[in-house]
Structure 1
Amino acid sequence: MVADERVVQELSEIRVSVAYFDPSIASENLGDLIIRDAVLKEFGDIFSDEQIVELTTQEVIGKRTHRLSRSAKYRIIGGTNLLSSFMLKYRQWQIGIRDARKLGPITLMGVGWWQYQPNPDLYTRMVLRTALSESGLHSVRDNYTREKLASIGINNVVNTSCPTTWQLTPEHCAMIPRDKGREVVLTLTDYNRSPQFDNHLIATLLGAYDAVYFWPQGTGDLEYGQQLGLLEKTNLIGPTLAAYDAVLDQRPVDFFGTRLHAGIRAMQKGRRATIVAIDNRSSEISRDIGLPTVHRDDLPHAIDLAINGHQETKLSVPFDQIERWKAQFNNQHSE
């Protein structure tokens, strides 16, 4: 093929409307699928007639990803702990400075910061200021993340909470039971273990409910549950989102556990949920919107109260900021 023909072919390639950088691709955490599900629901409203291509954040970025991103009208990255103060070391988003120049400008959608950290280092500032859109409006999942971005001069940001909460309207939350159900789903977190607390939680739930179900959201959760002798005492849910959804849809369950998005999924399904906060994600979202949480270091009676108390699910999801973030795409569609 001569050079001119190659140019014609490149120019005639189909231009995708949305390049979605999807953290659930090659992820070992089913919580990323819950985020993906929420993001695609919102895309259905915003980009109802648009072509969407999903690109990975978890793997090293190649030429095809560069090409697809460049050809897209919008580039959006959605959810989870993709940002940190030391992005050369913490690489949940596999982006380097060269990628930042080729992929951008990218718009954030409910993205969060990994753990409590000092202000970003020079390399991180360079990557983020290069990759992220200067003119578009970014959406982050909590005020802590907004402040971290502001510390490096990225101020075109609104706190919308996580996209998994965007469907938790007052009307939806009003339908969630306020009193304890007969059964409960338990989750644990393999990479943040506290056998003393977790054993106490297991014993408390076994004593308070007729049946306890255990869902391993992450690949190491099952092995951790086995170490605690959990599988002999509970009903194991298969390690798929479909299996978890089936229990939420068909059984009279509450949720109580350390996995944030498993808890939010339960709330999406109209189930009473209490999330045990073990890191900055649950703590910060709870501080911003009132997500029902207890902290791992709370006294045992706080856990008992969360199980047996009259609990109203009343959230302060910032729907005005969500609509403001969405409107930027509606405005561009109408131009």
Structure 2
Amino acid sequence: MIVLVDPGLKSTNLGDQIISDAVHREFVNPLRAAGVDVQTIPMHGHLSDDSRALLREADEVVVSGTNLLADNMRFRSPWQWAKKDIELTRGKLTTFGVGWWQYQTGGIDPFSARWLRSLSSGRPWAVRDEYSARRLAAAKVRALHTSCPTLWGVTRQNLPGGQRRVIATFTDYNQDPLADRRLIDLLETRFEEVLYWPQGPGDERYLRSIAGDEVRLIPPELAAFDAELREPSTAYVGLRLHGGIRAMQQGVPTLILSIDNRAREIARSVGLVAPSRHALDRIAALLDSPQPKTLHLPRVEIDAWRAQWVAS
């Protein structure tokens, strides 16, 4: 039995549901179709007794799609489970689409490196960018850059330019009201209609603080976001990485703006166009002269990593 630790279960961030959809499409569903027993438990919140029982019974545990890794895993782990619960994955653990928590100046500490190796199932850990793969390699944990599973079905990025309406996203966890207000002003000059989608639970309050109470909000639901993306002449410009990838999955012209290492390192790894939100001149230039961008996903590594599960 394989236990999948699913970021979309019990999460208040709709980006986690976007990741979960891709993980099931690209990994869980093919395995179940091949007759493999795959059970899911939540990444977020405290573990239930039933979830602990599944971890004890599991032959392998796959944790997917979050900022799971850091230089000091034993002492400041981004993984919110209690250490005794993480220990239930010892010798069984593989990651899928995870990445490093922010940029960290030091190398991984020896205790954390040994601990990660003790958790590993021996399969290569699939990570979302080359930066994370290098950090794991330094810890002597086998790793492959397979990008984020949300991008596996995406071949190119169409950039906004000439659309009538735009869906914008901002984030409450990394606020810069001056830069974000300047971006709003730019979007309002380029598009007839600007709508906003609160992907995270605190986004609406922050949006109202920078755009005013009359801001046009899409309901904080994935179905509502998808419906607006399907409207003709729609583009996406925003700070929410997975909101942007959801738009790209549907072929919507998209410009994701980097605010941390996640979009920045994915951009470096596969060729995504994701300028800093502070690079307003570059953002304006991209909106003026949009050119499609081919993404260069590591297809060989993706196919090899996925095939090993069915083969075994």
Asked whether the two chains share a fold, i.e. TM above 0.5, the reply is yes
Contact 2:3 2:38 in 1 (8 A): yes
Q: Distance in 1 between matches of 2:221 and 2:76?
A: 27
2:253 is the counterpart of 1:266: no
Give the AA of the match of 2:79.
Answer: W
**Aligned residue number for residue 276 of structure 1:** 257
CA separation of 1:285 and 1:144: change in aligned 2, threshold 3 A: same
Q: Distance in 2 between matches of 1:178 and 1:249?
A: 15
TM-fit CA distance, 1:102? 2.1
Q: Distance in 1 between matches of 2:114 and 2:71?
A: 11
**Aligned residue number for residue 30 of structure 2:** 45
Instruction: Tell me which structure has the larger Cα radius of gyration.
Output: 1
TM-fit CA distance, 1:290? 1.0
**Aligned residue number for residue 74 of structure 1:** 60
TM-fit CA distance, 1:230? 4.0
Contact 2:244 2:254 in 1 (8 A): yes
Q: Distance in 1 between matches of 2:86 and 2:160?
A: 47
Aligned residues: 308
**Aligned residue number for residue 292 of structure 1:** 273
Contact 2:18 2:150 in 1 (8 A): yes
CA separation of 1:168 and 1:162: change in aligned 2, threshold 3 A: same
1:187 to 152, 160, 169: 169
Alignment of 1:211-290 (within 5 A): 211-232=193-214, 234-290=215-271
Q: Distance in 2 between matches of 1:36 and 1:137?
A: 21
Give the AA of the match of 2:134.
Answer: E
2:95 is the counterpart of 1:108: yes
TM-fit CA distance, 1:18? 2.5
CA displacement 1:106-165 (0-9 Å, x = unmatched): 11111111100122234533432222222x1221000111111112111x2110100100
Contact 2:160 2:255 in 1 (8 A): no
Q: Distance in 2 between matches of 1:295 and 1:184?
A: 19
**Aligned residue number for residue 124 of structure 2:** 137
Q: Distance in 2 between matches of 1:126 and 1:66?
A: 23
Q: Distance in 2 between matches of 1:35 and 1:231?
A: 30
Give the AA of the match of 1:214.
Answer: Y
Q: Distance in 2 between matches of 1:219 and 1:88?
A: 29
**Aligned residue number for residue 181 of structure 2:** 199
Q: Distance in 2 between matches of 1:164 and 1:279?
A: 18
Contact 1:30 1:217 in 2 (8 A): yes
Q: Distance in 2 between matches of 1:97 and 1:207?
A: 51
* SS of 1:236 mapped into structure 2: coil
CA separation of 1:215 and 1:52: change in aligned 2, threshold 3 A: same
* SS of 2:103 mapped into structure 1: coil
Alignment of 1:322-333 (within 5 A): 322-332=302-312
Give the AA of the match of 1:27.
Answer: S
CA displacement 1:11-63 (0-9 Å, x = unmatched): xxxxxx33110122232211111000000001222332334322122223354
Contact 1:178 1:313 in 2 (8 A): no
Q: Distance in 1 between matches of 2:76 and 2:197?
A: 27
Q: Which runs of 5 or more structure 1 residues have no equivalent in the other structure?
A: 1-16
What value does the CA root-mean-square deviation take over the aligned residues?
A: 1.9
2:12 to 28, 32, 45: 28
Contact 1:96 1:127 in 2 (8 A): no
1:210 to 189, 192, 197: 192
Q: Distance in 2 between matches of 1:313 and 1:271?
A: 13
Give the AA of the match of 2:260.
Answer: D
CA displacement 1:274-324 (0-9 Å, x = unmatched): 1110000000000010112111232x2211112221221310011111001
Contact 2:68 2:99 in 1 (8 A): yes
Contact 1:19 1:52 in 2 (8 A): yes
* SS of 1:146 mapped into structure 2: helix
TM-fit CA distance, 1:242? 1.0
* SS of 1:20 mapped into structure 2: strand
What is the TM-score normalised by the length of structure 1?
A: 0.86
**Aligned residue number for residue 157 of structure 1:** 143
2:79 is the counterpart of 1:93: yes
CA displacement 1:233-263 (0-9 Å, x = unmatched): x421001111111111234211111110000
CA separation of 1:230 and 1:268: change in aligned 2, threshold 3 A: farther
Q: Distance in 2 between matches of 1:223 and 1:132?
A: 41
Q: Distance in 2 between matches of 1:127 and 1:58?
A: 21
Contact 2:55 2:61 in 1 (8 A): yes
